[in-house]
Structure 1
Amino acid sequence: MTTRRKFIKGAAVLPAAGLAAPALAQSKITWRLQTYAGAALAEHVIKPAIDSFNKIAGDEMQIELYFADQLVPTGELFQAMQRGTIDAVQSDDDSMASPTDVTVFGGYFPFASRYSLDVPVLFNQYGLNEIWDEEYSALGVKHISAGAWDPCHFATKEPIRSLKDLEGKRVFTFPTAGRFMSQFGVIPVNLPWEDIEVAVQTGELDGIAWSGITEDYTVGWADVTNYFLTNNISGAWAGSFFANMERWNELPPNLQELLRVCMDQSHYYRQWWYWGGEADLRVNGTKMELTTIPDEEWQTVEDAALKFWDEIAAESPTKAKVVEILKKYNADMVKAGRPYRYGQS
């Protein structure tokens, strides 16, 4: 693992840009990309795409992949990319604390989506791409593309069968999801990703609301929690690939296009890996017992989400525009009926 000290030391001995210009013009382009995912998860959600890119780009360009917190803490990813300390990032806006009006919608904005396909449709057909592009371009960052991961469920040591069971539970989750669920007594806890498993074992955490059941099994959380709540607070994580704008603009068009294609392949991989994994592990998984809060009680949470949307919309014109899109999209899905939405008024 590359430590931050080694990374900074290595950067310090690079020759001055002006003196190195002739050599750099002939050399292979090298990027550092850090994901917010830990090593076990990154094996699925990004490493295959980076391996493909490096294989195809060959001597033209190579991307060095770093996992959660390896070069900088996840909460500092945006600043490091903006400065050019790292070249690119895979993360949701919320986790990397990007200073934009759209940050609150990254990760798990409560009930913005029901299924993973909702996310790319919102970005590519309902106008979110254009809003994200404007927000990040103003800050010197290229928003390359957005995609979906798994739904957000609670994995806990004690069973959750009613909203009352959530009260006082210390839970690792995303900032906005934690802000929303705190009204039901959940206590959000922020820790480095790699520390979560131990924190559950030691009792520092009562549970995790950071993923679906596929990740719980993949990264080891199913080994330290006993119960999986089938109700979710969002149907799909929303996250993106980003790059330092100067580094992006320096790339020739063929490499920009190759990056887009490989990142789209990464989005596609997650679509089927999570969709199939969520169902398979609910049916065939042996490590966690499934629990459910009754629909009529869970409706309280869904109703609260709509009030939360309005609170967020009141914070800025850009946030209001995004909430308007979310409302329009979900209303369209309800009108479309099965298989898009059903069982909803």
Structure 2
Amino acid sequence: MTTRRKFITTAGLGGAAALATPSIVKAQAPIKWRMQTYSGPPLGAHVIKPQIEAFNKAANGEMEIELYYADQLVPTNELFRSLQNGTLDAVQSDDATMASPADVADFGGYFPFSTRYSLDLPVLFQRYGLNEIWQAAYDEIENVEWLGAGAWDPLHIFTTERPIRSVKDMAGLRVFGVPTAGRFLSRYGLIPVTVPWEDVEVALQTGELDGVAWCGFTEAYEVGWADICKYALLNNVTGAWCGSYFANSESWKKVPPHLQELFRMSMDQSHYYRQVWYWGGEADLRVNGDKLELTTIPAEEWEGVVADSASFWDELASRNERAAKVVEIFKKYQTVMEKAGVPYRYS
């Protein structure tokens, strides 16, 4: 009551007038980001567009991200450098495709036989220590923030005219793919070819490419490559692609904590969406898809390829201490899953 009486007695001195006049808040211009993904528009409609649209809406005018697709602002192999120098504020890509100089880059994208299912990847990051290793690796690189990794689709090989029914059938095939897996498959005569993402379709049609070793069934159907390719190899080289989000350090610092947290939440939602979208599509399109003839390399022959990957792992592990630690984690996880048996591993 004392406070109310004091307010009433001072109202004539300007108290009430001051209350009646709303304070004027100067509107600040929203934070603007330019973000580029490794993916072209058809794939980007699933792997990132829903996330960015949701973030922009939830940011409520405080921040707006302009999304660009593969090669629209800079070539894909210049994504890292463009992020570092501030041409881009953020990037979604695997480490290898964007030419990251981090000593974990070879493990981004498709690392042969490191995973069997898409759920393996987030488990490796969250429970087996890859989060801490990636963070430490990028802490050593100036002006780039690694924000987190997630799982995409498995790696299959799709071809236009030449089916693969044996390892020897890979010899001479020119395929578009992710760098690390391409290096491994080149052991069997496969020829990795790099072209801009938007040119892949035409290159398949003209015969410049014999196929793609870049994705799984969901993606091949979504982006139109299943309309051009005739054959799909069921043996997959790994169960999940490893992709990450990155930000320019100065750009990230300018984002207030609540919007940083909002962006991370939208990343997690996007990881979840992709896992369901990819996983559901893989089985459905193998069974109900009518655009590709399915081929298989016999199990006993494919087991030799899997065994060959051990020397490839050891080759990368020998490069430095951090790479050795990553390989050690993959081996530990593989052992646990094999011992666990069904449903974690079938063989």
TM-score when normalising by structure 2: 0.91
- Where in structure 2 are the equivalents of 1:95-174 lying within 5 Å? 95-139=97-141, 140-157=143-160, 158-174=162-178
Please point out which of 51, 54, 66 is paired with 1:52.
54
Distance in 1 (CA, whole Å) between partners of 2:130 and 2:244 is 12
Please point out which of 75, 82, 89 is paired with 1:80.
82
Corresponding position: 1:233 with 2:237: yes
Distance in 1 (CA, whole Å) between partners of 2:136 and 2:167 is 39
Task: Please tell me the residue identity of whatever aligns with 1:340.
Answer: Y
- Deviations 1:121-180 (CA, angstroms, capped at 9, x unpaired): 111111111111111122121111110010000000221100111111111111111110
- Deviations 1:185-215 (CA, angstroms, capped at 9, x unpaired): 1011011001011101111111100000111
Distance in 1 (CA, whole Å) between partners of 2:125 and 2:276 is 19
3-state SS of 2:198 partner: helix
Root-mean-square deviation over aligned CA pairs: 1.1
Q: Structure 1 residue 78: deviation in Å?
A: 0.5
Distance in 1 (CA, whole Å) between partners of 2:148 and 2:319 is 25
Distance in 2 (CA, whole Å) between partners of 1:312 and 1:241 is 23
Identical residues among aligned pairs (%): 65
The corresponding residue for 2:8 is none
The corresponding residue for 1:334 is 338
Q: Structure 1 residue 241: deviation in Å?
A: 0.7
On the 8 A contact 1:137/1:245 being kept in 2, the answer is: no
Distance in 2 (CA, whole Å) between partners of 1:58 and 1:31 is 15
Please point out which of 202, 208, 218 is paired with 1:214.
218
Task: Please tell me the residue identity of whatever aligns with 2:113.
Answer: F
Distance in 1 (CA, whole Å) between partners of 2:336 and 2:254 is 41
On the 8 A contact 1:119/1:147 being kept in 2, the answer is: yes
Q: Structure 1 residue 26: deviation in Å?
A: 2.4
Q: How many residues in Structure 1 have an aligned counterpart in Structure 2?
A: 320
Gaps of 5+ in 2: 1-25
3-state SS of 1:143 partner: strand
| TM superposition outliers: structure 1 runs of 4+ over 2 Å | none
Q: Structure 1 residue 335: deviation in Å?
A: 1.3
Q: Structure 1 residue 181: deviation in Å?
A: 0.4
- Where in structure 2 are the equivalents of 1:179-258 lying within 5 Å? 179-258=183-262
Distance in 1 (CA, whole Å) between partners of 2:94 and 2:86 is 19
3-state SS of 2:245 partner: strand
Q: Structure 1 residue 296: deviation in Å?
A: 0.5
The corresponding residue for 1:33 is 35
3-state SS of 1:121 partner: helix
Distance in 2 (CA, whole Å) between partners of 1:25 and 1:136 is 35
TM-score when normalising by structure 1: 0.91
3-state SS of 1:62 partner: strand
